Amino acid sequence: MSSTKLTEIPGDLEEEKRLAKAARDANHLPELRLVLLGWRWPGKSLTGNTILGREEFHLERASEFSVKRETEVDGRKVTIVDTPGWFSSQTTPTSYQQEMVRSVSMCSPGPHAFLLVIPVGMFTETDRARVEENLALLGEDVWKHTLLVFTWAEVLRDRPIERHIRREGRELQWVVDKCKNRYHVINNQIFGEHPQLPLLMEKIEKLVAEEGGHFRTQPEEKAQSAAPAEANIGNLNSNAVREERDLGARPKKNCSFSSLRAMDIDPPQSPMVEGVSD
Ligand SMILES: Nc1nc2c(ncn2[C@@H]2O[C@H](COP(=O)(O)OP(=O)(O)O)[C@@H](O)[C@H]2O)c(=O)[nH]1
Ligand SMILES: [Mg+2]
């Protein structure tokens, strides 16, 4: 009877909520280690600050080094390694890529997740190729632990991110698929108390539960000497130059963050003291 059904629905909802909470509790990690990845300027450092709830990473400075910061968030230690990032339209200095690889050992025994930071906006074939090349330096398993974080959320206004992903097309969809559909939209204009952060933490914890623990460097990658890795990076750079000639840099016209892309035509700045932190 319909009257019976009506009384059952709230009970079902309660049960669903209870099960969801039980799943969250079961996934809870006492400590979180995260690495921020992405090209320069999409908001990696600001995302780190949003998660840590305070200004730990300097913004708008082209750091040449990976930087580690840790603080207590909601009663647990959160460690974040911010990386220099790669160049989206120019050749990335080898040292930047080495720093990205070093980020893994900076949060021993290994990061729980890599947050691949991509701004809401145009995402080109070149962007996809850069993501692929740079993440490859960390080994194929990196994808199992990568969660895509969309910044510049205000550009969406009230459009759902799924619509943006559909409209951007196959290049962005490729990244979403590689991340096993794990993504989160972060609003970097909201600091501190906000459901977006517990939700992000939940998604990270779910990823860790599904992948059976934190990221580990593969034994064969560990065994490789630094020399082959550097040769690999060297090849990437020559590819990058060729692709840049073929495809050109294509900043989005009339886009509020097109200036971000223009930034990476600047030469890297001199090393900074705080960047040496480890
Ligand atoms: N409006 C807005 N600005 C952002 C956002 N993310 C980053 N920025 C700005 O973009 C610039 C570069 O950010 P930063 O975190 O230093 O980029 P990084 O090079 O990836 O570390 C800074 O001026 C930030 O304030 C965002 O989500 N919304
Ligand atoms: Mg930065």
pLDDT above 70 coverage of the chain, percent: 74
Domain ranges for the chain: 29-269
Q: Determine the distance separating the centroid of ligand 1 and the alpha carbon of 123, expressed in angstroms.
A: 17
- pTM, two decimals, is 0.80
Residue closest to 34 by CA, chosen among 61, 73, 64: 73
Closest ligand to C-alpha of residue 40 is 1
In this prediction, residue 238 has a pLDDT band, given cuts at 50, 70 and 90, of very low
Query: Do 250 and 126 touch, CB atoms closer than 8 A?
Result: yes
Q: Is 181 helix (H, G, I), strand (E, B) or coil?
A: coil
What is the CA angle 256-135-119, rounded to 5?
15
Q: Whose CA is nearest to atom 28 of ligand 1?
A: 152
Q: Determine the distance separating the centroid of ligand 2 and the alpha carbon of 63, expressed in angstroms.
A: 7
Over residues 127-141, the mean pLDDT reads 97
Q: Whose CA is nearest to atom 2 of ligand 1?
A: 152
Cα distances (angstroms) measured from residue 242 to each of 90, 123, 162, 209: 10, 19, 33, 41
Q: What is the pLDDT of residues 48-58, one digit of tens each?
A: 999 999 999 99
**CA distance linking residue 121 with residue 257, whole number of Å:** 8
Q: Determine the distance separating the centroid of ligand 1 and the alpha carbon of 111, expressed in angstroms.
A: 23
Q: What is the pLDDT of residues 171-184, one digit of tens each?
A: 999 999 999 999 99
Class of the CATH domain delimited by 29-269: alpha beta
Q: Is 68 helix (H, G, I), strand (E, B) or coil?
A: strand
Q: Whose CA is nearest to atom 26 of ligand 1?
A: 152
